Amino acid sequence: MLFKVRPAAKEDCKEISRMILELASYENMTDQVKITHEELERDGFCPNPFFECLVAEVPEEHQSKEGVTIVGYALYFYTYSTWKGRSVYLEDLYVMTEFRGKGIGKGLLSKVAEVGKKKQCVRLQLSVLDWNAPSRDFYAAKGAQDLTDSEGWHILRFDGRDLDNLANEAPED
Amino acid sequence: MLFKVRPAAKEDCKEISRMILELASYENMTDQVKITHEELERDGFCPNPFFECLVAEVPEEHQSKEGVTIVGYALYFYTYSTWKGRSVYLEDLYVMTEFRGKGIGKGLLSKVAEVGKKKQCVRLQLSVLDWNAPSRDFYAAKGAQDLTDSEGWHILRFDGRDLDNLANEAPED
């Protein structure tokens, strides 16, 4: 199938928002999604954006059952390693169910790698859930190392009241 | 002990570079550090910087045995959750051995939380190695959740030839 991968425009945020919900639904977590398309527009299309996004688009004649032509997305941002330097982090990679198995996910992933290399990034990182075998297999087949298994890295998070408490105890300027 | 936490200036990059090596030495990984202070200057002090950094400074009369007054740093950047929005990620937090136990690490961490809150971030995330019990205890005591333990998140990485291969297979624009 023909498809095109291109940088998302501000006008694509409604479609991206729809797919964020579809991805959360696959993970049985739609109640967790608090982001609106207005917030995506604000945070991704400002000076110094918090993220960048690619979308996969198919021609009108291949549109989905629901009549959409934007059928996948990859949302990423730049991070930094104090050992190695610039890195790119893939937050979400998603392709609609009826468009899977056609190389669209691989196309999006490769494009993020290419964009990262052009920015002199030396790493592409992402996180997967341990029960998500299809995703783990997909990335492993393309050469990803599992740093939690091999080096023992754990992800920690402060949010809600714990984050507020920390911030409130910051030393004065 | 009196100490001050302030945003790093470009002129601090040599000191930050020294401390990056000290931290890697604690992890027995100094051979992994490829970053120079020139790269830190380039990547952290440009438009659209790849990271931000805070340093902890003590008065001259409390300088270290080696005569330095910049005794700790916190290097962080902004990330994005497609469920929750803006987040801040703490890449490194370090305090020189002879200055530990004085609240400097906590001061740096709290300041990163405060900076993040001011940017409307709803999360502060970081990674720790499973064998690093002192760090895990430090963060847990302040309210951090371990998402690898509780939700099963694993960190994956592409680098070197695997990243090149991915990038080379990107679909054409």
pLDDT, one tens digit per residue, over B130-170 is 999 999 999 999 999 999 999 999 999 999 999 999 999 99
Tell me whether residue B39 is exposed, middle or buried, using C-beta atoms within 10 angstroms of its C-beta: 0 to 12, 13 to 18, 19 or more: middle
pLDDT (tens digit per residue) in A53-64: 999 999 999 999
A80/B91 Cβ within 8 A: yes
B55, B154, B169, best to mutate vs chain A, most A CBs in 10 Å: B154
Instruction: Give catalytic residues of A, as residue numbers.
Output: 139
In a domain, A96, yes or no: yes
Confidence at A29, pLDDT banded by 50, 70, 90: confident
Q: Is B76 a catalytic residue?
A: no
In a domain, B43, yes or no: yes
0.90 surpassed by complex ipTM:
yes
In a domain, B173, yes or no: no
| Percent with pLDDT over 70 in chain A | 99
In a domain, B80, yes or no: yes
* Nearest-CB residue to B156 (from A50, A114, A125): A125
* Nearest-CB residue to B34 (from A84, A147, A148): A84
Reply yes or no on whether the pLDDT at B87 is more than 90.
Answer: yes
Best CA proximity match to A155, nearest among B140, B52, B126, B137: B126
| Percent with pLDDT over 90 in chain A | 92
**Domain count for chain B:** 1
Determine the average pLDDT of the residues in B84-97: 97
Scored b (16 or more CB within 10 A) or e, A11-35 reads ebbebbbbbbbebbeeeeeeeebeb
Query: Residue A173's CB: how many other CB atoms inside 10 A?
Result: 9
Q: Which domain holds residue A73?
A: 4-168
pLDDT (tens digit per residue) in A70-119: 999 999 999 999 999 999 999 999 999 999 999 999 999 999 999 999 99
Nearest-angstrom CA–CA distance, A58 and A137: 26
In a domain, A173, yes or no: no
Reply yes or no on whether the pLDDT at A122 is more than 70.
Answer: yes
Determine the average pLDDT of the residues in B53-69: 96
Scored b (16 or more CB within 10 A) or e, A128-151 reads beeeeeeebebbeebbbbbbbeee
A154/B147 Cβ within 8 A: yes
B110/A171 Cβ within 8 A: yes
- Chain A residue whose CA is closest to B171: A107
A29/B83 Cβ within 8 A: yes
In a domain, A116, yes or no: yes
pLDDT (tens digit per residue) in B37-57: 999 999 999 999 999 999 999
Instruction: Give me the sheet containing B4-7, strands edge to edge.
Output: B4-7, B52-57, B70-81, B85-95, B123-129, A153-159, B145-146
Reply yes or no on whether the pLDDT at A1 is more than 70.
Answer: no
Chain A nearest-CA distance from B118, in A, is 9
In a domain, A89, yes or no: yes
* Nearest-CB residue to B123 (from A50, A114, A157): A157
Chain B nearest-CA distance from A65, in A, is 25
pLDDT (tens digit per residue) in B69-84: 999 999 999 999 999 9
Confidence at B28, pLDDT banded by 50, 70, 90: confident
Place of tokens 């998402």: B147
Scored b (16 or more CB within 10 A) or e, A60-82 reads eeeeeeeeebbbbbbbbbbbbbb
A10: domain CATH number?
Answer: 3.40.630.30
Nearest-angstrom CA–CA distance, A73 and A70: 8
What's the mean pLDDT when you consider all of chain A? 94
In a domain, B134, yes or no: yes
Q: Which of B3-7, B24-28, B70-74, B96-100 has the lowest mean pLDDT?
A: B24-28
Reply yes or no on whether the pLDDT at A173 is more than 90.
Answer: no
Reply yes or no on whether the pLDDT at B173 is more than 80.
Answer: no
B17 phi and psi angles, rounded to 5 deg: -60, -40
The DSSP letter of residue A46 is S
Tell me whether residue B164 is exposed, middle or buried, using C-beta atoms within 10 angstroms of its C-beta: 0 to 12, 13 to 18, 19 or more: middle
A vs B: CB pairs below 8 A: 270
